[in-house]
Amino acid sequence: MEKNLFTGIKIGNIDLKNRIVMAPMTRSRAPETFATELTAKYYAQRASAGLIITEGTQISEQGIGYPWTPGINTPEHAKAWKIVTDAVHAEGGKIFAQIWHVGRQSHSVFHNGELPVAPSAVGFPGKQFTHKGMLDLETPRALELEEIPGVVNDYAKAALLAMEAGFDGVEIHGANGYLVDQFINSNSNRRDDKYGGSVENRGRFALEVVEAVVKAIGSDRVGIRLSPAGFNGGMLDLNPAESYGYVIKNLSKFNLAYLHLLEGPTPNEDQQQYHIFKNGVAKVFRPMYDGNIIINAGYTKEKANAVIASGDADMVSFGVPFIANPDLPERFRVDAPLNQLLGHETFYGGGERGYTDYPTLEEVAATV
């Protein structure tokens, strides 16, 4: 029978009830970097997803780049997250923590005046949202060769804390122009040591992070997110199919829970090297990867069922649709209309409004 969003699937050792994944979304509601009861309520409301991937959670103080984002870098963080994982499990859900280091997408105001770190001292034009408002991005400081093993180890430490917190696994954030992506991408990595230059060298950091995290918690609990076709955070690779292809081919041997890929925007005339993705990112990389693929960005129920049926991807993650629809799987199942999204100002920061106050179908029915 043709597979669709509602066909069960096993990732690692976990059976998922459907192939509908809640995409990681920063919501900036973690005071002093801690998850709260409200965080628990938000994720528990969405536990009918086959898998929830949390918002980016920083692996170290060095990895922070935005206000009110949660951490997973101390035992106290793990304790706070335990309330969340317990609440999701009580509702029959599964939840992975997205582990995150923003690299150069940060600002010295987050680091007592010290510059953010990156593979190279290469900045990009733009502004960063901070506690002090929007500030101009700075040229980051290049990580010293001797510092890199410590950063790799921070991912492994965060993964161990995630286990302590009761998560079912972790997703390494290797997408959207953050640190892992900054190493892979030829635009942001100008190193001339073993972490820069060739595709093998630019891919080294990503693969070392994966290896360290797998060693810490086991491959069946590890996923990774990559955005080979994306330009977020000043990304622009000279040959993205080759750069990301190298990493993806080498990921196969780890036997991960999944590879999470993002579609990119339509490239312009000067971005010819990105036209290879015109029929979808998964089509390009599926033949190179042996394992489960989650695909994301801009998917509807119909498009999602089609990509699963085609075999190009195994699961589909939904971001914005999950913000406004805590019961998105049920709405897909019965073809119910989706809730109207409140303003984008409720995406980041604030309290319950636009976070935990979207009604389920049942709640809508009860009010009419």
Ligand X SMILES: Cc1cc2nc3c(=O)[nH]c(=O)nc-3n(C[C@H](O)[C@H](O)[C@H](O)COP(=O)(O)O)c2cc1C
Beta bridge partners of 98: 56, 171
Interacting residue with ligand X among 235, 262, 304, 313 (CB under 6 A): 262
What is the nearest approach in angstroms of ligand X to the Cβ of residue 332? Answer: 13
Annotated catalytic residue 274: no
Residue 176 touching ligand X (CB under 6 A): yes
| Contacting ligand X within 280-319 (CB under 6 A) | 296-299, 318-319
Nearer residue to ligand X within complex by CB, 106 or 176: 176
What is the rounded distance in angstroms from the CA atom of residue 206 to the CA atom of residue 119? 12
Element (H, E) at 242: helix 240-251
Spell out the residues 6+ positions from residue 137 whose beta carbon is closer than 8 angstroms to its own: 104, 105, 107, 123, 124, 125, 126, 127, 128
What is the rounded distance in angstroms from the CA atom of residue 358 to the CA atom of residue 324? 6
Q: Active-site residue among 66, 178, 299, 358?
A: 178
Nearer residue to ligand X within complex by CB, 28 or 201: 28
Nearer residue to ligand X within complex by CB, 105 or 189: 105
Residue 48 touching ligand X (CB under 6 A): no
Nearer residue to ligand X within complex by CB, 196 or 299: 299
Residue 94 touching ligand X (CB under 6 A): no
What is the rounded distance in angstroms from the CA atom of residue 353 to the CA atom of residue 155? 32
What is the nearest approach in angstroms of ligand X to the Cβ of residue 251? Answer: 17
Residue 180 structure tokens:
């892992």
What is the nearest approach in angstroms of ligand X to the Cβ of residue 224? Answer: 11
Nearer residue to ligand X within complex by CB, 320 or 336: 320
Interacting residue with ligand X among 320, 324, 361, 364 (CB under 6 A): 320
Interface segment toward ligand X; rule CB under 6 A; list 20-28, 38-46, 89-97, 128-136: 20-28
Spell out the residues 6+ positions from residue 150 whose beta carbon is closer than 8 angstroms to its own: none
Beta bridge partners of 141: 117
Query: Within 13 Å, how many C-alpha atoms sit on residue 352's CB side?
Result: 8
When CB distances to ligand X are compared, the closest residue is 319
Query: Within 13 Å, how many C-alpha atoms sit on residue 18's CB side?
Result: 25
SS3 for 38-90 is HHHHHHHHCCCCCEEEEEEEECCHHHCCCCCCCECCCHHHHHHHHHHHHHHHH
What is the rounded distance in angstroms from the CA atom of residue 195 to the CA atom of residue 185? 11
Interacting residue with ligand X among 55, 154, 168, 181 (CB under 6 A): 55
Neighbours of 144 (CB within 10 A): 10
Residue 175 touching ligand X (CB under 6 A): yes
Dmax of the chain from CA atoms?
Answer: 65
Interacting residue with ligand X among 12, 50, 56, 196 (CB under 6 A): 56
Residue 129 touching ligand X (CB under 6 A): no
Residue 39 touching ligand X (CB under 6 A): no
Residue 62 touching ligand X (CB under 6 A): no
What is the rounded distance in angstroms from the CA atom of residue 70 to the CA atom of residue 33? 4
Residue 324 touching ligand X (CB under 6 A): no
Interacting residue with ligand X among 14, 25, 288, 306 (CB under 6 A): 25
Please give the positions annotated as active site. Answer: 178
Which positions touch ligand X (CB under 6 A)? 23-26, 55-56, 98, 173, 175-176, 225, 262, 296-299, 318-321, 347
